[in-house]
Amino acid sequence: MIRGSALTLSAVVATALAGPLLAGGVTGAGLDEVTVHARRLTLGGAPRAASEGTVLGEQLEHRPLLRVGELLETVPGLIVTQHTGDGKANQYFLRGFNLDHGTDFTTHVDGVPVNMPTHGHGQGYMDVNFVIPELVDRVVYRKGTYYADLGNFSAAGAADLRFAEAVRPFVAVSAGEASYARAVAAGAVAFGPGTLLAAAEYDGSDGPWALPQDLRKANAVLRWSQRTEDSGLQVSLMGYDSEWTATDQIPRRAVLDGRLDRFGFIDPTAGGRSHRYSLSAAGHRSLAPGRLEFSAYAIDYALQLYSNFTYALDPVNGDQFEQSDDRRVYGGALTWSQPLALGAGESTWHIGIDVRADDISPVGLYLTTARARRETIREDRIAQALTSAWTAMATRWSPWLRSEVGVRVDRLDYDVASDRAVNSGAGHDSLVSPKGSIALGPWRDTEFFVAAGRGFHSNDVRGATIAVDPTDGVTPVDRVTPLARADGTELGLRTALVPRTQVSLSIWRLDLASELLFVGDGGTTEATRPSRREGVELGVYSRPLDWLILDADFAASSARFRDQDIVGNRIPGAIERVASLGLTVTRDSGWFGGVRVRYLGPAALIEDNSVRAPGSTLVNVEAGRRIGDHWRIALQLFNAFDRKVDDITYYYESRLPGEAAPVEDLHFHPAEPRTLRGTVHYSF
C-alpha cells in the first residue's frame, strides 16, 4: 500500500485543482436537468418537502466507489459502511438511525423493490450489490412519512435508482491494491421498435484483511425499452451471483493486547453466498384525460450467511451460525393520475394499488462449525402478502401556494409454518396512514414547506406468531406487532437566492411505535421500545464557476426511547451527526478530479450512554483525464490520509478461545486503509 503523508497531501491538492467528484442532489424529485441561467441556479420541480431531490447521472459518472452501496451516499445525510464481508448488504445510517441493513429506508432499482421482509439476517435487508453503477441514470430520493405512494420500510426515507434507457457502448477495466479487479461492458442497439441495453460486470477483491475475503461477484442486465409521445414500456432481466469469505467485527481487547492485528480475524470460515435473478416490466400510457402507470416483477433470491460475532461462548463447537433465506417474490403496481378542476385551483388526482407476495421456503437459523450444520435453531416456511391502496390530491391554489393531501391503507397477511408447531400461525394486520404537505412560494427564489404523515415498517412475521424461545422450546416469548407505526413531521425551506447556489434546510421529527435493535450475540434484530428522533439537515449545492462544483450537507439528530426504563433512554447505534463535503473540477482540457470528505459522528452504544462509539472522518480523491473522444483514465485514492478509524462499532459480550469467561467489550470493523485503484475506460 502507498505510504507517506507528503505523497497523500500532494495528491489531494493536485486533484482538487484538476477535477469531478459529485454528490448530493438538487431539491425537487421531478427535475430532469440542472440549468444555470446567467449567475442563478433556478428552483425546479414541485417537491412536497425540502428533503427530497434528484441526483443526476452527470453527478454519478466520476464518483469513486469503494463499494457499490456508496451510490446511496448521494442521498444527503445517508452514510454507507460495512461490518463484515463485502458480499453482504451494507450498513446504513440516516436521520439518527442505525438502519442495520435497511429496516426504515426503502430502495427500488429500475422499479423493483430491494428490501426483503422476514429475512434470514435482518428485517428489511437491502442488498444493492447487484447494481452496475454505470447504468444508473439518476437517484431520486425522499425522506419522511409524507408520501402516499411510499409504504413499507420508508419511515426514514426512500431512494429510487433509475437505469438509463441507453448508454454509449464501452468497456472499462479497473485494478488496484488487495487483488482488486473489475471489468464491465455495456452498450445499446436498436432492436425492433425499441432499444436493447445489455451490460455485464465482474468484480473481485481480497481486501486488506489478514484473511483474504476472496469476493467474487458477477452481474448482468438485459433491458428492452420503447418510448413514444404518449407511452413507454420497458422489460428488464437482471442476474447476480456472489460468494465471499468475511472478516466479522473483532473485539478491541484482542487488538490492544496484540493477540489480533487490526485487520485480523477469529473464525476463518465466516462468509456467504447469494444470488438474485429478476424479471420485470414497467410502463405508462396517456389515456385522455389521465395517465396510467404499471409495473410487475418476479424475483428469485437466496442467501446463505455464516457469521460468528461472539466466537467461543461454546468453547467446544464455537459460536458460528448460519442464516439462510430462499424465496420467490412476486408483485406489481398500478397508478392512475388525472387532472381535475377544484375552484380556482389546478389539481391532479392520483390513485394506486401495490401488491407484493413473498414465498419464503425456507428461512432458517442453524448452529454451524466451519459451515457444517450441527443443530437447527429454527426453520420456517412462510407466505406473506402486503396489499396496499393509496390516493392523493395535489393542488396548485395560486402561484405561491400548493398542497397535497393523501391517505394510504396497507394490509399484511401472513402464514408461518415452523419446525416447532407452537411457533406456527397465521394472521393479518392493517394500518391507515394519512399524509399531507403544504408548499409556500417562491418569493425571491425561496420556498417554504410543512409536511406531516404516518408511515410504517413491517416486523418479521415470525415474531408475530412466536410462542416460545426456539433455542430451548420452553421459555415464553412476547409477540411483536406486525405493522409498526411511524409518525413524522417536517418544516423546511429551499432557496436559490445566493447566485448559482441552492440551499435546503429541514427540521424534522419522527416517532416510532416499535424500535428495532441489533442483538450482537445472536446476529438478529428484535422489536423493542417506542422511540423519538428529531433533527436538522442542511444541504448546499453550488456551481460558482462553470468548471467548479461544490456540494455539502450536514445533519444532526437526537434519538431517544419515549418510555421510562432504568437502563436509560439512548438508542444504541443512533449516530448523532454526519456531514460530507465535495469539491469538483472539470476542465475543457480533459482533466477531471475532485475531493470528497465524509464525517460519521459518535453514537451511544448502550442505553445509559456510558459506552460510546467514536466518530470518523475519511477523505477520498479522484484524478483523471479524457483522451480524445474514446479514452478515459482515472486514479482513485480511498482513505487518502490512511485514518485508522472504524466502519462500525458495537458493544456486547463475547468470549475468545482460551478466555475463562465472557467479556463485555467494544467490537469493531475497521475502515479500509489507504487504497489506490485505477480505471481505463474505452467508449466505442
Q: What is the pLDDT of residues 65-92, one digit of tens each?
A: 899 999 999 999 999 999 888 999 999 9
Predicted local distance difference test score (pLDDT) of residue 85: 84
- pTM of this structure: 0.92
Residue 83 lies in a domain: yes
Q: Number of structural domains, the chain?
A: 1
Burial of 627 (0-12, 13-18, 19+ CB in 10 A): exposed
Predicted local distance difference test score (pLDDT) of residue 517: 61
Residue 325 lies in a domain: yes
Amino acid at 553: D
Stretch 635-640: mean pLDDT, rounded? 97
Measure Cα distances from 9 to 4, 14, 15, 52, 247 in Å. 9, 9, 10, 35, 30
Q: For residue 31, is pLDDT > 80?
A: no
Residue 10 lies in a domain: no
10 Å Cβ neighbour count for 664?
A: 12
The DSSP output letter for 5 is H
Stretch 418-445: mean pLDDT, rounded? 96
Contact 622, 64 (CB under 8 A): yes
Q: For residue 40, is pLDDT > 70?
A: no
Predicted local distance difference test score (pLDDT) of residue 208: 96
The range of the structural domain enclosing residue 463 comes to 23-683
How does residue 421 score in pLDDT terms, banded at 50, 70 and 90? very high
Instruction: Provide the β-strand partners of residue 342.
Output: 345
Stretch 546-550: mean pLDDT, rounded? 88
Residue 241 lies in a domain: yes
Q: List the one residue out of 420, 454, 417, 453 whose CA is nearest residue 437.
A: 453
Predicted local distance difference test score (pLDDT) of residue 26: 53
Contact 108, 117 (CB under 8 A): no
- Work out the percent of the chain whose per-residue pLDDT is above 90: 81
58 three-class SS: helix
Residues contacting residue 185 through CB under 8 Å, at least 6 positions apart: 170, 171, 172, 199, 200
Predicted local distance difference test score (pLDDT) of residue 15: 34
Stretch 568-581: mean pLDDT, rounded? 95
The C-alpha atoms of residue 160 and residue 109 are separated, in whole angstroms, by 6
Residue 5 lies in a domain: no
The C-alpha atoms of residue 191 and residue 198 are separated, in whole angstroms, by 12
Burial of 344 (0-12, 13-18, 19+ CB in 10 A): exposed
Q: List the one residue out of 179, 184, 138 whose CA is nearest residue 22.
A: 138
Stretch 414-428: mean pLDDT, rounded? 97
The C-alpha atoms of residue 173 and residue 176 are separated, in whole angstroms, by 11
Q: List the one residue out of 510, 439, 542, 359 whose CA is nearest residue 49.
A: 439
Q: What is the mean pLDDT of the chain?
A: 91
The C-alpha atoms of residue 478 and residue 526 are separated, in whole angstroms, by 11
Predicted local distance difference test score (pLDDT) of residue 139: 94
Stretch 429-436: mean pLDDT, rounded? 98
* pLDDT tens-place string over residues 530-540: 999 999 999 99
Predicted local distance difference test score (pLDDT) of residue 519: 54
Q: For residue 21, is pLDDT > 60?
A: no
Residue keyed to cell 470460515: 269
* Positive or negative: CA dihedral 504, 48, 284, 335: positive
Where is pLDDT greater, at 74 or 352?
352
Predicted local distance difference test score (pLDDT) of residue 27: 53
Residue 7 lies in a domain: no
Q: For residue 20, is pLDDT > 70?
A: no
Q: List the one residue out of 224, 225, 184 whose CA is nearest residue 202.
A: 184
Predicted local distance difference test score (pLDDT) of residue 652: 94
Instruction: Provide the β-strand partners of residue 672.
Output: none
* pLDDT tens-place string over residues 183-206: 999 999 999 999 999 999 999 999
Q: For residue 224, is pLDDT > 50?
A: yes
The DSSP output letter for 610 is S
Residue 1 lies in a domain: no
* pLDDT tens-place string over residues 638-667: 999 999 999 999 999 999 999 999 999 999
Residue keyed to cell 445517508: 78
Q: For residue 174, is pLDDT > 90?
A: yes
What's 357's domain CATH number? 2.40.170.20
Q: For residue 520, is pLDDT > 60?
A: no
Q: For residue 1, is pLDDT > 50?
A: no
Residue 18 lies in a domain: no
Stretch 570-583: mean pLDDT, rounded? 94
Chain center to CA of 565: 32
How does residue 23 score in pLDDT terms, banded at 50, 70 and 90? very low
Predicted local distance difference test score (pLDDT) of residue 25: 55
Report the run of H or E that residue 17 belongs to, with start and end.
helix 5-18
Predicted local distance difference test score (pLDDT) of residue 62: 73
Predicted local distance difference test score (pLDDT) of residue 264: 96
Pick left, alpha or beta for residue 441 (phi over 0 → left; psi -120 to 50 → alpha; otherwise beta): left
The C-alpha atoms of residue 665 and residue 667 are separated, in whole angstroms, by 6
Predicted local distance difference test score (pLDDT) of residue 89: 94
Measure Cα distances from 246 to 305, 326, 476, 655 in Å. 10, 21, 34, 19
